[in-house]
Structure 1
């Protein structure tokens, strides 16, 4: 009998049930997709790392090394279970020309440091998409997937290396997975050569760079080892990176996408609950007399409830199963970046199991929510249902018509506004859905705007200028620094520039424990950064600390910190805590020059005059400075660093906008269909007293328009109030050195395009649905 009732209801209310089904399906699908993607991200990285075995600690170094001294230090350190020192030949993008079937280009616009390497024997292996160790023969080359995605290279393309009067041509044999350098945020990438080609080129082209790698029984020992290594006086003229940072930077793009998908799926689940409540209450009110009859003949509450709940269980079950299947079909699209970056490992068992659990939890939530709503049947008495015909809402009396004010307002406008004002509860579903849709669209859009904005560089420990120049550590550091400064002082195209000197010192805590700290010092150090508390340092006894370092040391703004400079202690006051993702997130800024300490590197932030083209000037300086100095237009630097995140996020955001708009229109159709059924008698009375169909259409357009405008306004306010808090909560969990982001909004998108588009579509839907009242027969409706 229950199945027969459900079947008849599906046939009778096709549109309503279809809308409910779609909401349940999409909310389940997005929830399952976010789980699938999250699990696949960590599973894929873990499987890649298991085979490739990236280092737990790596120190990059340019210049000569004493490998015996390094090996002796490693063997004597009880934390180290394995170590190796690898050689890399650094070349520039302009040294590499790619010849494809359709075009020829060089990599001069690539801001990544490019290194030529040969395959390792046991650890830090370069793999193919099936996680197999890649073997490259003479004349062949393996290109990292990172470069393939940036330049759309293909197997069989030719790579021509031209440097120091040496010209060598290679054929792309394989696209390789580099477990350590697979993110543009790492700032380096490796090209794989055969042993013979590598040995032939070594010393003839480029510049040598060493990768000093160490492995531990527990990867958490990496940060402790880093301090011990740096204090041992071993080679360190380059970036030092730990396992946790390698893992986090690898997963950042996909973690961001998972967060957005999860957020949208949660909002859609809320919308589904609103729709379920609305349709259940509409069905109960419409069938109040049938409910009264069932109570009168002695049917218990559970039996009456089950008649209704079977339908929603069936809808939820079918919707979630369909959503799960849809998620599996779409999984290859959303996990494309994971597959290309970490290898094709297929769908893991854990991902399937956890996604099934996610779908089942949504089913349980919907089932529980339906039971809560249907408890209202308990409160209905036989007298209320059969005699009064009411039982689910208190009769608060009629609305004052206010027609006496119609000499100041048009009658249709007055009736429409007053009904929304006095009976807002009847229209709350449209209000809630529009509100949630605005948030569902605008939070991801604002997040995308933030990643793409030049201002995001202030979250990466740098101020926002036109060009960033870095003088890398090495034997000729001071000479290169002097050359750069001399050129900048003479160039009349420069508006202004800021100079920074980077040093490494040690801090002393209450237990006299030493910990290394990288400090950027200069007259403008710390200015224009994003501070969680406090401000930039103003005097030479002030110091601004990065969030991760302050958090580890338990320091806050106003606290004091002792720094060891050539065996002498100097006390600084912490002026502020800022956000940074460079140097592992452990940095500081100070106006004090630290002249007693040798510089690790120098950097310059340059602003050009308005009529100077940034790209051309950066290329000109890069050629003039030569090796050991990197020159990056800030906008291009950000684009290449965060381009992968932005590109994937843009695809997801576009899909979310389409889904949000489509579901809003579906809700509008569902609501109006049910509203018109409930308002039949009122419409008939309005027609009988002389209101035309056009008047009634206007009234409903005004009602829907007013509610939509309210929903949009509240949605914008909540997006501005809660959007940043939601994003910052996720960033706090990630622990990447950024705890708080001020979302950068696009005012035209947030305040004009999105609101007008939603309101216009709702009004169009309303106009189309209202045309059906032409079919209403006034006499038959009044007789009923």
Structure 2
């Protein structure tokens, strides 16, 4: 009999049961997807690392070096160093790499290097994570350029420099553990040794090197770095550790996982609230049945088990279905992972971790059900047989009388009065509308922020209309001078500022020396947003990035002193400001031009430009690109897009997915709430119809109340996404060098389009839900 009651309850309440089941399944799908993404990310990175065998310490260097000195150093550090490898990087200007019909790689912000496969470690892999073996006349191109320029295997890639032209056939794609991510500013093209030697003979740019070390088990990276600097070995470039490589590889997928986890957690909250709505509706409908069961002598425990078993079965079924569907849903979010890390996301770990979501949802729902079911304890058999609803025991005070209404339409006033009198009931719907709005607005704001020109300020770059980068060529100094002369005489230019980035040695908290990319120029022309302090002005001041000033960096605050080597001399500077930057591992610095340059360590020249209001920026960019073909001319939005790679594209998928989930939630919960509310008000509705009110009047009554709650929910959800969302995103991105991020809201999206869509959806749902109940025969209700 017990199971027969449960089965009949399923059959009798198909709509409510299906609604709750869908919500529980969605919660498990999103929770399982997030844990699967994390498991896949861990497994894929571990597999890629195992096959690529990346360096534990990589010292970038430009200029002359002695391999014999490095070998001698390695021999002295055998306690810490297991293996050493030096990779030669042959730089090629993007404009000199052609493909298709007259196209080149000009415009990319990446440094392009041609290399050969390493012999000991730091292997460059194909899409099967096997070591690349490139034949003569072939080239393997980085995945980044395959995506950005739609390069296919079999296409021709032509390299043209002074006195050298070679057409290569694309034979494979490069999966590069150390330089995979778009935020890594360099990319490696792999060619055969014979082709590389031929290119070396005609080289025009200065060779660069990666001096790499693999540590022994238990070897100290800090000890090796300190000894390396003290030995005076080649170090004209940054030092990058394995932790930075791991962070770059995990960044985009980890960010997506965090957003999915957040949406999944909010969905579980909604599922719990929907169950409370379901119980309220179910108990109102079953109140007399509960009274009969109590009168027959059934214990409270037996009565609770009738309802509890239903949700146990439902949670178990939703958990199993959601667990299975989560592996399909994760495919929507793991395209980047499959491409850059592993084409096969295998491993038993993900199956085990994905069980966390269904188990957690099951336990949470059952505990919550037990808490809600306590309301049965206070209902006696006589009360259950006499009352028409659980809340009927509570007397209502005659608040907000109609006679005091002098401003609003009577129908609107009565609807709002009903909401105010029963706000404890409506607050469940309000919370769900707030959460649903949050799910829509937060990913949208994150996407708009990343896609905005203002995001450049989080990359250590002042906002401007366009940016021109000059990289290392034989004519770079001449081009830089000529560019400034051309800009100064161009009547369309409102203002411009030139910046030069060099590597400088800077003394760390332990007294040893680190390398940092330090930019000099006038930072008042295109100012940054500083977390603390201000831009460096004149000699004797320096601004540090947040990651550089942090405790695990230089450990400096505003007013502290920093010692920098400039052309071999120690210069003491005072910290004037701390800004945010996610480039170069987040560790950068800025100083006034008066600091002076390390002429042998110049990395690049940059010019930020603002044009006059009436000038077409795109046309002006094309003009300067033609005038300086070796330069990279971009607007700040394009520069941001290339730096963040396809993280922006993945966030767009999350925006669409989050919006679809939120709309589905709103439809299901609104329908469920109306089902419960109309069940409570059945007698009242019958009386209203009997005194002459038609169905449209009654439907408008509930429509007004629900829309009023929706408006409150939208306002609260938008405000929460602005303040709470900024805090959550800042916490997530702090490891990347962003301590505080202000999300950008597009007003017409946030306050017009999204609310309008939610209102249309809720209005349609209310209309359909009311029609199904209000049109019933009132005589049946009045007779009961």
TM-score by length of 2: 0.92
- Alpha-carbon RMSD across the aligned residues, in angstroms, is 2.9
Cross-structure match for 2:113:
115
CA contact (8 A) 1:240 1:583 kept: no
TM-superposed CA distance for 1:209, in Å, is 2.8
Give 1:609-648 correspondences, 5 Å limit. Answer: 609-615=612-618, 617-618=620-621, 621=624, 630-648=632-650
Cross-structure match for 2:128:
130
TM-superposed CA distance for 1:259, in Å, is 1.3
CA contact (8 A) 2:449 2:455 kept: yes
Cross-structure match for 2:701:
699
- Give me the whole-angstrom Cα distance separating, in 1, the residues matched to 2:227 and 2:473: 21
- Give me the whole-angstrom Cα distance separating, in 2, the residues matched to 1:259 and 1:314: 30
Write out per-residue CA displacement over residues 123-146 of structure 1, whole angstroms, 9 at most, x where no aligned residue: 111212221112221222212222
- Give me the whole-angstrom Cα distance separating, in 1, the residues matched to 2:446 and 2:493: 33
CA contact (8 A) 1:31 1:266 kept: yes
- Give me the whole-angstrom Cα distance separating, in 1, the residues matched to 2:583 and 2:407: 64
- Give me the whole-angstrom Cα distance separating, in 2, the residues matched to 1:20 and 1:140: 57
TM-superposed CA distance for 1:218, in Å, is 6.5
- Give me the whole-angstrom Cα distance separating, in 2, the residues matched to 1:556 and 1:121: 41
CA gap 1:498/1:638 in 2 versus in 1, 3 angstroms: same
TM-superposed CA distance for 1:554, in Å, is 7.4
User: Are positions 1:603 and 2:606 aligned together?
Assistant: yes
- Give me the whole-angstrom Cα distance separating, in 2, the residues matched to 1:569 and 1:110: 36
- Give me the whole-angstrom Cα distance separating, in 2, the residues matched to 1:322 and 1:142: 42
CA contact (8 A) 1:62 1:238 kept: yes
Cross-structure match for 1:660:
662
Of 715, 721, 724, the match for 1:722: 724
- Give me the whole-angstrom Cα distance separating, in 1, the residues matched to 2:358 and 2:386: 43
- Give me the whole-angstrom Cα distance separating, in 2, the residues matched to 1:389 and 1:623: 81
Cross-structure match for 1:50:
50
TM-superposed CA distance for 1:337, in Å, is 1.5
CA contact (8 A) 1:483 1:625 kept: no
Give 1:363-762 correspondences, 5 Å limit. Answer: 363-387=362-386, 394-397=393-396, 399-400=398-399, 402-405=401-404, 409-472=408-471, 481-505=480-504, 512-524=511-523, 528-538=527-537, 540-551=539-550, 552=552, 555=555, 557-563=557-563, 565=565, 572-591=573-592, 593-595=594-596, 598=599, 600-601=601-602, 602-615=605-618, 617-618=620-621, 621=624, 630-732=632-734, 735-762=735-762
CA gap 1:584/1:76 in 2 versus in 1, 3 angstroms: farther
CA contact (8 A) 1:138 1:196 kept: yes
CA contact (8 A) 2:136 2:194 kept: yes
TM-superposed CA distance for 1:417, in Å, is 1.2
Once the two structures are overlaid, the 10-residue window that deviates more, 4-13 or 552-561, is 552-561
Cross-structure match for 2:165:
167
TM-superposed CA distance for 1:228, in Å, is 5.2
CA gap 1:565/1:640 in 2 versus in 1, 3 angstroms: closer
Write out per-residue CA displacement over residues 639-690 of structure 1, whole angstroms, 9 at most, x where no aligned residue: 2112411011111211211121122112112221222222110011111222
Cross-structure match for 1:342:
341
Q: Secondary structure at the match of 1:186?
A: coil
Cross-structure match for 2:273:
274
- Give me the whole-angstrom Cα distance separating, in 2, the residues matched to 1:666 and 1:456: 37
- Give me the whole-angstrom Cα distance separating, in 1, the residues matched to 2:463 and 2:128: 42
- Give me the whole-angstrom Cα distance separating, in 1, the residues matched to 2:405 and 2:96: 79
Once the two structures are overlaid, the 10-residue window that deviates more, 192-201 or 500-509, is 500-509
- Give me the whole-angstrom Cα distance separating, in 2, the residues matched to 1:401 and 1:630: 68
Q: Secondary structure at the match of 2:355?
A: helix
Give 1:767-778 correspondences, 5 Å limit. Answer: 767-773=767-773, 775-778=775-778
User: Are positions 1:72 and 2:72 aligned together?
Assistant: yes
CA contact (8 A) 1:80 1:216 kept: yes
Q: Secondary structure at the match of 1:21?
A: helix
- Give me the whole-angstrom Cα distance separating, in 2, the residues matched to 1:406 and 1:6: 48
- Give me the whole-angstrom Cα distance separating, in 2, the residues matched to 1:97 and 1:470: 20
CA contact (8 A) 2:509 2:554 kept: no
Q: Secondary structure at the match of 2:449?
A: helix
Cross-structure match for 2:291:
292
- Give me the whole-angstrom Cα distance separating, in 1, the residues matched to 2:196 and 2:516: 36
Once the two structures are overlaid, the 10-residue window that deviates more, 14-23 or 155-164, is 155-164
User: Are positions 1:322 and 2:336 aligned together?
Assistant: no
Cross-structure match for 1:151:
149
Structure 2 portions without partners, runs of 5+: none
Structure 1 portions without partners, runs of 5+: none
CA gap 1:190/1:282 in 2 versus in 1, 3 angstroms: same
TM-superposed CA distance for 1:448, in Å, is 0.5
TM-superposed CA distance for 1:257, in Å, is 1.0
CA contact (8 A) 2:238 2:503 kept: no
- Give me the whole-angstrom Cα distance separating, in 2, the residues matched to 1:479 and 1:499: 14
TM-superposed CA distance for 1:387, in Å, is 5.0
CA contact (8 A) 2:387 2:393 kept: no
Q: Secondary structure at the match of 1:521?
A: strand
CA contact (8 A) 1:41 1:338 kept: yes
Of 198, 201, 223, the match for 2:199: 201
Write out per-residue CA displacement over residues 557-604 of structure 1, whole angstroms, 9 at most, x where no aligned residue: 444224155787665443332211223222223337223865733433
TM-superposed CA distance for 1:493, in Å, is 3.9
Cross-structure match for 1:37:
37
- Give me the whole-angstrom Cα distance separating, in 1, the residues matched to 2:88 and 2:661: 50
TM-score by length of 1: 0.92
Cross-structure match for 2:96:
95
- Give me the whole-angstrom Cα distance separating, in 2, the residues matched to 1:385 and 1:63: 89
CA contact (8 A) 2:138 2:168 kept: yes
TM-superposed CA distance for 1:48, in Å, is 0.6
CA contact (8 A) 1:463 1:528 kept: yes
TM-superposed CA distance for 1:164, in Å, is 2.4
Q: Secondary structure at the match of 1:120?
A: coil
Once the two structures are overlaid, the 10-residue window that deviates more, 373-382 or 175-184, is 373-382
Alignment: residue pair count: 778
CA contact (8 A) 2:287 2:387 kept: no
- Give me the whole-angstrom Cα distance separating, in 2, the residues matched to 1:526 and 1:556: 26
CA gap 1:432/1:357 in 2 versus in 1, 3 angstroms: same
Once the two structures are overlaid, the 10-residue window that deviates more, 615-624 or 491-500, is 615-624
- Give me the whole-angstrom Cα distance separating, in 1, the residues matched to 2:293 and 2:641: 67
Write out per-residue CA displacement over residues 393-433 of structure 1, whole angstroms, 9 at most, x where no aligned residue: 75132545733356754332121111011111222232222
CA gap 1:59/1:491 in 2 versus in 1, 3 angstroms: farther
CA gap 1:559/1:299 in 2 versus in 1, 3 angstroms: farther
CA contact (8 A) 2:506 2:565 kept: no
TM-superposed CA distance for 1:61, in Å, is 3.3
CA contact (8 A) 2:85 2:120 kept: no
CA gap 1:685/1:749 in 2 versus in 1, 3 angstroms: same
TM-superposed CA distance for 1:256, in Å, is 1.5
Q: Secondary structure at the match of 1:580?
A: coil
CA contact (8 A) 1:507 1:561 kept: no
- Give me the whole-angstrom Cα distance separating, in 2, the residues matched to 1:365 and 1:206: 66
CA contact (8 A) 2:226 2:512 kept: no
